[in-house]
Amino acid sequence: MTKRWTVAVAGGSLGGLTAALLLRDLGHDVTIYERSQRELEQRGAGIGFLPDSSRYLVERAGRSLDEISTTTETIRYLDRSGTTIHEQQHRYRFSSWNTVYRGLLHEFDRSRYLLGHEVAGRDEYDDRVTVHLGSGRHIDADLLVCADGVASSFRQQLVPGADHRYSGYVAWRGMVPESQVSSATASRLGDAITYYVYANSHVLMYPIPGLDGSVTTGERLLNFVWYRNYLDGADLRDVLLDDTGAQREISLPPGTARAEHVAELRATAAARLPAALAEVVLAVEEPFLQVVYDIEVDRMAFGRTCLIGDAGFVARPHAAAGTAKAAANAWALADAIAAHDDVRSALAAWEPGQVALGRQLVERTRRLGERSQFTSTWDPTDPDVLFRLREEGP
């Protein structure tokens, strides 16, 4: 490295943290600006722990995968009666958003992780980017990394014509401690990722670390994701009207879904799902909801500014690759920065591969969503349905 650059990272979630850590490790002066007043939390929501997602914690922080993730060796499909209709050996690792976030944050200097600091905009110059904070302060940096998520204000500013499409369905989610379901259900669901696919819908369940990070059987959580169709317009707006009467756009956090929608979810689970899966859904106290969108951009680099993670492309969750994509963006960014003495040149070299990566992931997960939610042509034996970030490889 010939020069120590000043780097501002807008957004302190997993992608922003990974980018900040990697650029710090290169010797640059990195500060994260996070708009939340408190450290982030997602109530333990489960994530597929693909190699890109775990790479920093394993390679740089020296963490053991077995300490921060659960392992399943089997992919299992059930019919309505709960009978196994397809099973194959395939290893997956799962973790929780909280476990990964806490692990990454532990590796970063908390004095450079600034809470309550929203980045509102920026001005580009030949020799710097001036970052505008919501407080009115201005900071000069050599590089601005925008990692401000699905609702990215920077994507809206920099790629105003970005393709943004509602998929036609949402993901209802929830977690329950293994200890709060019957021993038979805990045993049935604790060793595999379990699917139930039926007309125009599917649900999957897998074990993840407990809220305290425990990966010990009996102390873990069972995590469900249930994809359900809602018509665009009145139907979608109704389910996104929270219990205070506020209209949400992207998600309903735990505890905010209206009682009638939670009751309908539980009634449908009891009526339609295999008994073990229904038991988990019924045991979840505060199910939450995430709208499933496709968002595509044709650019991710803008002079001294770049978009990473969900600030760029947003893919449907069927590949379990959202956090892996953000991490891959960050690792590639660090490689490009290390190889170039000029920020603009580094971003120009970095951008094409990341646009291609995002584009293929959006396209593949769109195909999977169409098969499960609309055409009912999901095939458990098709390698396309396996969790992975890239088209090639496991």
Instruction: For residue range 168-179, list pLDDT tens digits in order.
Output: 999 999 999 999
Q: Is residue 385 in a domain?
A: no
Alpha carbon distances (Å) from 251 to 38, 150, 224, 289: 19, 10, 16, 5
Domain boundary among 232, 260, 292: 292
Average pLDDT of the residues in 212-225: 96
pLDDT at 209 over 80: yes
Residues 121 and 150 in one domain: yes
pLDDT at 190 over 70: yes
Rounded distance, CA 144 to CA 153, Å?
14
Residues 84 and 231 in one domain: yes
Residues 116 and 83 in one domain: no
pLDDT reported for residue 95: 97
Q: Is residue 55 in a domain?
A: no
How many Cβ atoms from other residues are within 10 Å of residue 163's Cβ? 12
Residue at 45: amino acid letter: A
H or E element that contains 157: helix 153-158
Instruction: For residue range 357-377, list pLDDT tens digits in order.
Output: 999 999 999 999 999 999 999
Largest Cα separation within the chain, whole Å, is 65
pLDDT reported for residue 43: 57
Q: Is residue 189 in a domain?
A: yes
pLDDT reported for residue 161: 86
pLDDT at 392 over 80: no
Q: Is residue 378 in a domain?
A: no
Average pLDDT of the residues in 37-57: 89
Domain boundary among 267, 292, 317: 292
208 — phi, psi (to 5°)? -135, 165
CB 19, CB 102: distance < 8 Å: no
Q: Cα 347 to the chain's mean position, in Å?
A: 24
Average pLDDT taken over every residue of the chain: 96
pLDDT at 85 over 90: yes
Residue at 257: amino acid letter: A
| 3-state percent helix, strand, coil for the chain, nearest multiple of 5 | 35, 30, 35
Average pLDDT of the residues in 179-199: 97
Tokens representing residue 36 in the block: 């939340």
CB 105, CB 116: distance < 8 Å: no
CB 123, CB 132: distance < 8 Å: yes
Tokens representing residue 220 in the block: 């873990």
pLDDT at 204 over 80: yes
Instruction: For residue range 122-159, list pLDDT tens digits in order.
Output: 999 999 999 999 999 999 999 999 999 999 999 999 99
Instruction: Give residue 45's pLDDT band: very low, low, confident or very high (50, 70, 90).
Output: confident
Instruction: For residue range 296-316, list pLDDT tens digits in order.
Output: 999 999 999 999 999 999 999
pLDDT reported for residue 78: 98
- The enclosing domain of 125 has a CATH number of 3.50.50.60
- The enclosing domain of 85 has a CATH number of 3.30.9.60
pLDDT at 229 over 90: yes
Residues 77 and 137 in one domain: no
Residues 190 and 331 in one domain: no
Residues 112 and 197 in one domain: no
Residues 257 and 177 in one domain: yes
Domain boundary among 292, 316, 341: 292
pLDDT at 44 over 90: no
Residues 341 and 258 in one domain: no
Instruction: For residue range 19-29, list pLDDT tens digits in order.
Output: 999 999 999 99
pLDDT reported for residue 40: 87
CB 297, CB 162: distance < 8 Å: yes
CB 227, CB 171: distance < 8 Å: yes
Residues 144 and 267 in one domain: no
Q: Is residue 188 in a domain?
A: yes
Tokens representing residue 266 in the block: 């539980």
pLDDT at 163 over 90: no
pLDDT reported for residue 262: 98
pLDDT at 280 over 90: yes
**Residue 148 DSSP symbol:** -
Rounded to two decimals, the pTM is: 0.96
Q: What residue ranges in the chain does DSSP mark as E strands?
A: 6-10, 29-34, 46-48, 70-78, 84-96, 113-115, 119-124, 129-133, 138-141, 143-146, 163-177, 192-198, 201-208, 221-229, 251-252, 288-296, 301-302, 305-307
Residues 271 and 133 in one domain: no
**Number of domains, the chain:** 2
Tokens representing residue 385 in the block: 């349905």
Q: Is residue 190 in a domain?
A: yes
Rounded distance, CA 392 to CA 342, Å?
32
Q: Is residue 376 in a domain?
A: no
CB 293, CB 305: distance < 8 Å: no
Residues 15 and 137 in one domain: yes
Instruction: Give residue 218's pLDDT band: very low, low, confident or very high (50, 70, 90).
Output: very high
Q: Cα 243 to the chain's mean position, in Å?
A: 25
Average pLDDT of the residues in 102-120: 97
pLDDT at 230 over 70: yes
Residues 254 and 177 in one domain: yes
Of residues 282 and 161, more confidently modeled:
282
Lateral strand order in the sheet of 305-307: 113-115, 29-34, 6-10, 143-146, 305-307, 301-302
Q: Is residue 251 in a domain?
A: yes
Give the range of the structural domain holding residue 362, as residue numbers without chain letter: 6-47+99-163+295-366
